[in-house]
Structure 1
Amino acid sequence: MKAIVQDALGEAADVLRVIDIAESAEPRAGEILIDVTLAPVHHGDLQLIRSQPFIPEDTRYVRRGSEAVGIVRALGSDISGHANLSVGDRVIAFPTAGSWAESIAVPAFAVVPVPADIKDEVAGQLLINFITARMIVRGLRKSVSDEVLRDGAVLVTGAGSVVARLLLHMLRQEGVVAIGLARAPASAERVASELNGVPVVATSGLDWQDQVRLMASNKKIIGVLDCVSGPLLAQVAQLLADDAVIVTYGALGGVSIDIGAPQLIGQQLVVRGVVFSRWFTEVSPDEQVEDVRSAFAVARALPSLFRTGSVFDLDHFRDAVRAVEAPGRAGFVFLRP
């Protein structure tokens, strides 16, 4: 079967290739074999390709892709805790390693049935994005009290992304004043429209910091949820109140947060990193079930948050990479085997 693999460290367009690999006829114990329908290309996938140096010596490559929607082809033994799964079911594989392929064997605990009313294009991008947003809000609440949140305002960078739009929605649902930051005016207007008037500022404007202060309505800016990093975060930090928290979960604008030690010390800023994979170790099973239920509820209520951009076959993965990194991208990018 076809699969996209990485055999060196570097940019995705340079170090990925499509190869034919042997396909397991039957899944191993505790696994489920899935025929992939759609696999999203996340920014996080590309960051991993740039930064993950481990290549197994036996295969000399590693398969890539972290999420997929597909059809169950076969069930391995010893999946008694997942009796709700059957051959032919439409499911999300989340998270997984190697989803950019025609099929994939996934641990049963990482397989979630897809409700009939949720389209593949939504299901294929839903869980990593939603659960990442949930973990970011949990990270914020670890550093900020309910009282401070209620009386302050929170900034969300990269507002055009799915995760950021989910964050803006979640914060508003919790009664928190949230202000989005998008690079371009068109993106800012689109997000504000999708979220029924949530304030979003375009950072390309010379007076964007003044606009943020105005939208905060004299509330202290007590936090920022950031996926950009780099020079933008340094500018955002100028807006933060003393004792504010910076929750960082991406590096679209640079690998450094670009905030000097004197400013961190002087304002007593708190910096907290968040990664979605801690969901499996830090969140209780009951909360995990509720997160998945909430994800599908949001997908039904706000389908516009999960727009589809371009879909490419495996052989055209370089086009997919370019589409993901294109400025002003309006929808999610997928690979279709």
Structure 2
Amino acid sequence: MSEARRRGLRVADTDDKGRCVMVRTVRFHELGGPEVLRLEDVEVGEPGPGELVIRVEAIGLNRAEVLFRSGHYIEPVKEFPARLGTEAAGVVEAVGANVAGFEAGQPVSVIPAFSMNDYGVYAERVIVPASAVLRRPDGLGAVEGAAVWMPYLTAYGALVDVGGMRAGDTIVLTAASSSVGLAAIRIAHRVGAVPIATTRTRVKAERLRKAGAAEVIVTDEEDVAQRVLGLTAGRGAELVFDAIAGPGVVELAKAVAPGGTLLLYGALSGEVTPYPGFELGMPALNMRTYTVTHETTNDPERLRRAAAFVSSGLRSGAFEPAVDRVFDLDEIVEAHRYLEAGAQVGKIVVTV
């Protein structure tokens, strides 16, 4: 991929009078807080082999963009100006060479399956790999289409595909009010597992119960391991799905059933994460990390199975997007501030 493409400086499109077409694009020229985000006019060109042009209607915000923008993501920003975003919904406008199954005018969703050093969807019109695009199910609007795939693909890939979640299993979910946590609750019910949600304070507890959590543990007031062991007759949870990491994994590991798995899919604590097995006397503990891009969306067969599972749940009504708040593209700085505040229950979406 060319350096120009990474910067978003494509060969300019022209209108019917031969004039360049510019699109509003969010970029940042330095690492920092939400204030570094700028809405700029950028030229956009034709798709290359294996690519699509998407007219963006809505963008799903993810914590990964905050980390990338601030320089704390699992991959660093390679050059400036940089772009953001891996999840969106829109309509296909143009199809590149060697792309099958898509046509102009088709409603689609873009899923996290590429590096933000190469592509970004915070814009009115974007070029993305066709491998990162899914057909949008009938009846699913743009806002919902930008909010559903990352949460459900992440939760399915980690809990079902990797973790082997089965009927009767108990699942402990940290950061349960996130879009992934809410999706995990519904997926647990779909397979007959029992989802236990954790939340720091009581502010979100009732909403988590209404979302389907079998039990809610308020971590500022309760001992997680003690409560989980009490709820499972001393057995523990077959899976703990953790977005926080850091020193807290020691306490979480106490809640894992013998032979169970502690799955880490985020590091919201920003602290060093120890391996708790030795401190706890070397129990039969499995502990691993999971990222949706490494294990699901960039593996065609795993993605096919995951997309089929999620689509089935959407058709049946078992799954639905959880949208907390919608912003306009002009409000992208405010949207990122809201995302960082962590008060949301579900997905934050930006319309274009």
1:318 maps to 333
Describe the SS at the equivalent of 1:121: helix
Q: Identity of paired residues, percent? A: 23
For the pair 1:336 / 2:339, whether they are aligned, the reply is no
Deviations 1:260-299 (A, max 9, x none): 5632663253221111112245452xx5334223223333
1:165 maps to 182
**Residues 69 and 124 in structure 1, CA contact (< 8 A), matched pair in contact too:** yes
2:30 maps to 8
Describe the SS at the equivalent of 1:306: coil
**Residues 165 and 305 in structure 1, CA contact (< 8 A), matched pair in contact too:** no
Matched letter for residue 333 of structure 1 = I
Residue 216 of structure 1 deviates from its aligned partner by 1.9
2:283 maps to 267
Aligned CA distance change for structure 1 residues 69 and 180 (closer, same or farther; 3 Å)? same
**Residues 241 and 267 in structure 1, CA contact (< 8 A), matched pair in contact too:** no
Q: 1:131 aligns with which of 153, 156, 171?
A: 153
Q: 2:56 aligns with which of 22, 28, 36?
A: 36
Equivalent-residue separation in structure 2 for 1:331 and 1:159 (angstroms): 9
Aligned CA distance change for structure 1 residues 237 and 321 (closer, same or farther; 3 Å)? same
Equivalences for 1:186-335 in 2 at 5 Å? 186-195=203-212, 198-258=214-274, 260=276, 262-263=278-279, 266-277=282-293, 278-282=295-299, 284=301, 287-302=302-317, 305-335=320-350
Matched letter for residue 288 of structure 1 = L
Residue 115 of structure 1 deviates from its aligned partner by 2.3
Equivalent-residue separation in structure 1 for 2:280 and 2:230 (angstroms): 24
2:163 maps to 140
**Residues 24 and 41 in structure 2, CA contact (< 8 A), matched pair in contact too:** yes
Describe the SS at the equivalent of 2:196: strand
Residue 103 of structure 1 deviates from its aligned partner by 0.6
TM-score by length of 2: 0.81
Unaligned runs of 5+ in 1: none
Which range moved further: 103-112 or 213-222? 213-222
Residue 93 of structure 1 deviates from its aligned partner by 1.6
For the pair 1:111 / 2:98, whether they are aligned, the reply is no
Describe the SS at the equivalent of 2:147: helix
Equivalent-residue separation in structure 1 for 2:225 and 2:343 (angstroms): 21
Q: 1:55 aligns with which of 44, 63, 78?
A: 78
**Residues 8 and 53 in structure 1, CA contact (< 8 A), matched pair in contact too:** no
Residue 209 of structure 1 deviates from its aligned partner by 4.4
**Residues 28 and 76 in structure 1, CA contact (< 8 A), matched pair in contact too:** yes
**Residues 186 and 319 in structure 2, CA contact (< 8 A), matched pair in contact too:** no
Matched letter for residue 254 of structure 1 = G
Residue 324 of structure 1 deviates from its aligned partner by 1.3
Describe the SS at the equivalent of 2:279: helix
Equivalent-residue separation in structure 2 for 1:32 and 1:220 (angstroms): 47
Equivalent-residue separation in structure 2 for 1:283 and 1:8 (angstroms): 34
> Greater share of helix residues, 1 or 2?
1
Unaligned runs of 5+ in 2: 1-22
Which range moved further: 222-231 or 254-263? 254-263
Aligned CA distance change for structure 1 residues 160 and 251 (closer, same or farther; 3 Å)? same
The total of aligned residue pairs comes to 320
Matched letter for residue 108 of structure 1 = A
1:17 maps to 38
Q: 1:70 aligns with which of 72, 90, 93?
A: 90
Equivalent-residue separation in structure 2 for 1:309 and 1:220 (angstroms): 32
Aligned CA distance change for structure 1 residues 169 and 269 (closer, same or farther; 3 Å)? same
**Residues 185 and 202 in structure 1, CA contact (< 8 A), matched pair in contact too:** yes
Aligned CA distance change for structure 1 residues 283 and 22 (closer, same or farther; 3 Å)? closer
Matched letter for residue 78 of structure 2 = I
